[in-house]
Amino acid sequence: MRVLLTGGAGYIGAHTVVELIAAGHEAVIFDDFSCSSPVAIERINEITGTQVCNRTIDVTDAEAVRAGIDETGPFDAIIHLAARKAIGESVSLPLEYYENNVGSTIVMLAAMREHGISTFLFSGTGTVYTHQEDLPFVETSRTGLALPNPYSKSKRICEEIMADFARTGPDRRLIGLRYFNPIGAHESGLIGEDPQGIPNNLMPIVARVAAGILPQVSIFGRDYDTVDGTALRDYIHVVDLARGHLAAIEHAERGMHFYNLGTGQPSSVLELIAAFEEASGRQITVVDAPRRAGDAQATYCLPDKAHVKLAWRAEFGIGRACGDYWRWQQQNPEGYRS
């Protein structure tokens, strides 16, 4: 298959490109490098021994997308990953999040229609589930209006638009993936997560503390009703996640279908930190902090639908993910700017 990846130089995008090429597919990247680095492309080339075709394109710009596809197409599938993803920033800049995330999805769906591309995969989030009583989340678990931030809402709105669009052409294959918490890095240590500014997610903070770049990890809430009082998340190795994308486009069915991509095995904040300490051989200083508004006590899925329908399941545990992330961290202490 010839696959167009928007945001293909990002954390999930770069790993997905590597897995696509390893499986014999051809990948083309559209990325505006506003939240990613062109160095990621060089690293993908190094890992795969290829020269990946890429264009600097803002995919909210319909004209630029049209010209880019005319030049680099045709394509069998679009994997639409380009998005802004910092939850805290989305609260202060909601218009930018809706414009970028919703606007780019409309542009790429219109491109699918215009260029006759049969398959479209959307990068969604498990934060669309709203009811803790539904744990573990399955694809039919309740979603709703009551999401805690514009980032999650923008992703849920894109799902709604896709579902409406799917009804206009029964031959179209639309996939909505709902990611849980991606961690880890490629085993080469050449590509990995490269947050801009101060990281928001647990894993990059833990890695920076292990590396001596940040002083400590804040534990936001010790009084949850969980195994050790800290929040539970379904951490999934980014390579497993990338392979989920591959499986999803290879097994795409007609219509609109949602799939959870997670391990089904939640870990607590303290368990993840302990795993990172073991993988890195470093001690990680933690400090207690109050719960954060909008944080759920637990988020994890039952990934059975993806297993049955896509013949996919996560293979790696958090120990392997921490080891891979630590290799990436050590080889690239300042990410792609190193």
Q: Give exposure, 190-220, as e/b (b: 16+ Cβ within 10 Å).
A: bbbbbbeeebebbbbbbbbbbeeebeebebb
Site string for a second copy, 95-124 (x = CB under 8 A): x--xx--xx--x--xx--x-----------
Side-chain-facing half-sphere of 180: CA atoms under 13 Å: 30
Q: Which is nearer to a second copy, 102 or 219 (CB)?
A: 102
> Does residue 145 bind a second copy (CB under 8 A)?
yes
Q: Taking the complex as a whole, how short is the minimal distance between the CB of residue 142 and a second copy, in angstroms?
A: 10
Active-site pick, 11, 97, 129, 151: 151
Question: Minimum CB separation from a second copy for residue 90, in Å?
Answer: 8
Binding mask 193-232 for a second copy (x = CB under 8 A): ----------------------------------------
Closest distance between a second copy and the C-beta of residue 201, in Å?
A: 21
H or E segment and range at residue 248:
helix 238-250
Rounded Cα–Cα distance for residues 151 and 177 (Å): 15
Check binding of 317 to a second copy (CB under 8 A).
Answer: no
CA R_g for the chain: 19
Q: What is the token pair recorded at 46?
A: 């190094």
- By the rule CB under 8 A, 293 interacts with a second copy: no
Work out how close the CB of 327 gets to a second copy at its nearest, in angstroms, rounded to a whole number.
39
- Is 151 one of the annotated active-site residues of the chain? yes
Sign of CA dihedral 261, 267, 269, 272: negative
Considering beta carbons, is residue 12 or 111 the nearer one to a second copy? 111
Quote the CA–CA distance of 14 and 20 in Å, as a whole number.
10
Measured distance CA(224)–CA(297) in Å, rounded: 6
If one asks whether residue 153 binds a second copy (CB under 8 A), the answer comes out as yes
The reply to whether 315 sits near a second copy by the rule CB under 8 A is no
255 touches a second copy by CB under 8 A: no
120 close to 108: Cβ distance less than 8 angstroms: yes
Binding of a second copy by 164 (CB under 8 A):
yes
Contact criterion met (CB below 8 Å) for 126 and 301 = yes
Give backbone dihedrals phi and psi of 317, rounded to 5 degrees, phi first. Answer: -95, 180
Interface pick for a second copy out of 23, 34, 132, 167 (rule CB under 8 A): 167
In angstroms, what is the minimal distance from the CB of 98 to a second copy? 5
Q: Count the residues of the shown chain that bind a second copy, applying the rule CB under 8 A.
A: 25
Beta bridge partners of 219: 288
User: Where do we find the tokens 């979603």?
Assistant: 143
**168, 215, 281, 293: which one binds a second copy (CB under 8 A):** 168
As given in the structure block, the two tokens for residue 213 are: 């770049």
Footprint of a second copy on residues 62-101 (CB under 8 A)? 91-95, 98-99
Which stretches of the chain bind a second copy, using CB under 8 A? 91-95, 98-99, 102-103, 106, 109-110, 113, 143-145, 150, 153, 157, 160-161, 164-165, 167-168
Catalytic annotation, residues: 151
